Amino acid sequence: MHKNMIILLKKILINNNSIYHLGYIFYGTSIIIISIMVMMVSYSNLYKYNDTYSNKILNQKELVVEEYLDNNNSKIINYNSTGNLEIQIDKYDFTTKDLNKIFDEQKYYISSVRDKKLVPNILINKFPKDFSLISTTKDKKSLFIRSLLPLIIMENNKIIDTNKRIKKINNGTFDYISRDEALWLKKQYLNYKVKSHHIDELLIKVDIIPVSIALAQAAIESGWGTSRFVTEGNALFGQWSWFKGSGIVPEKRDINETYEIKSFENLRQSVSAYMKNLNSHNNYSEFRVVRNNYRINNVEINSLNLLNFLSNYAENIEYSKILEKIIKKNNLQEFDQAEIYIPPYELANLISN
């Protein structure tokens, strides 16, 4: 009996120790759980604060831009992946007064671009409805040039990016390229009509069109933005199309002709199609070869020297000379080195001293 009592007491002591151990484990686990919950609540509050702060900053940016525009204007304002401020204007009752107001608020003047070589990123989808009613030639040319400069430069930037990507693939250290790169490269061969699939031939075609040439051709083909084709179809460069319904039928077209002047949803598409035309059509192969020679010799492209190889663009045998006259008279070569303005460069610095 006494022996049995001793055994029972030992069991109780052992069980008590187990209870103590379980208590310690439960206590420690509770502390950990409580700590995690506190951290989660703190993180949630911090996230909400940061989210609110970010929205506040974004709203502040939008409010700054709102000051430049009347409340009744249709617009899309956003900051793209590179931090570029984009003001997209797309409204059919948009007037030249509205456009001038935006340019003035952005301190965007012809003189400032000539001096600083910087252009704000303002995308004009369509010329104002009263563009042809501008009273003076000087004002009309100024508004025309300022409207097209961002579009031309941005399309050239896209071409430069494509050129760099092609070179990066070509200069790769591996003997193979990824499937995505191969498919992308195949698409470029197709876009630029390179049947040989030689990268060197592709690179000759994927290059910029000098800003002065693009401006001069747009001025000729659109009557400085006043022609019926640009008014009705955003057709800046008078490109022909033989697909019925793809454009506008010229009033003076011969009865046996079937071509139309290709129309576009916006001005930027017109600029893009024009550049693709010069960079891919057989009529401008010499233009591209001469341009490439400048690249090979690491010499700045001279737009005036390239004009002789654009004679096939129009039926007028004096076309190249007319382009040269427009470029010289309006000092368009001064825009060849212009770049898109990227914040936080202060707008005040765009004012010519």
Residue 213 is assigned to a structural domain of this protein: yes
Residue 255 is assigned to a structural domain of this protein: yes
Residue matched to tokens 């409204």: 91
Give the span between the Cα atoms of 156 and 160, in whole angstroms.
Answer: 6
Strand 247-248 versus strand 339-340 pairing type: unpaired
Give the span between the Cα atoms of 143 and 275, in whole angstroms.
Answer: 22
3 vs 282: which has the higher pLDDT: 282
| Structural domains counted in the chain | 1
| 234, 269 Cβ separation under 8 angstroms | yes
Residue 261 is assigned to a structural domain of this protein: yes
Residue 258 DSSP label:
-
Q: State residue 185's pLDDT score.
A: 94
The band of 35, judged by pLDDT with boundaries at 50, 70 and 90, is: low
Radius of gyration of the chain (CA): 32
Domain assignment of residue 150, given as a range: 75-350
Residues 210-234 pLDDT 10s: 999 999 999 999 999 999 989 999 9
Residue 60 is assigned to a structural domain of this protein: no
- Out of 10-19, 50-59, 154-163, which region has the weakest mean confidence (pLDDT)? 50-59
| 188, 206 Cβ separation under 8 angstroms | yes
Whether the model clears a pTM of 0.95, i.e. scores above it, the answer is no
Q: Specify the amino acid at residue 208.
A: I
End-to-end CA distance of the chain, in Å? Answer: 113
Residue 51 is assigned to a structural domain of this protein: no
Q: State residue 244's pLDDT score.
A: 76
- Please report how many Cα atoms fall inside a 13 Å half-sphere around the Cα of residue 255, on the Cβ side: 0
Helix boundaries (H) for the chain:
2-66, 96-105, 110-116, 137-170, 179-191, 199-205, 211-222, 228-233, 267-280, 285-296, 303-306, 319-329
Residue 50 is assigned to a structural domain of this protein: no
The band of 40, judged by pLDDT with boundaries at 50, 70 and 90, is: low
| pLDDT at 172 > cutoff 70 | yes
User: Angle at Cα 311 formed by Cα 307 and Cα 317, nearest 5°?
Assistant: 120
Residue 2 is assigned to a structural domain of this protein: no
The CATH number covering residue 217 comes to: 1.10.530.10
Which of 166, 122, 169, 174 lies closest to 143, judged by CA?
Answer: 122
Residue 336 is assigned to a structural domain of this protein: yes
The residue-averaged pLDDT of 153-171 equals 95
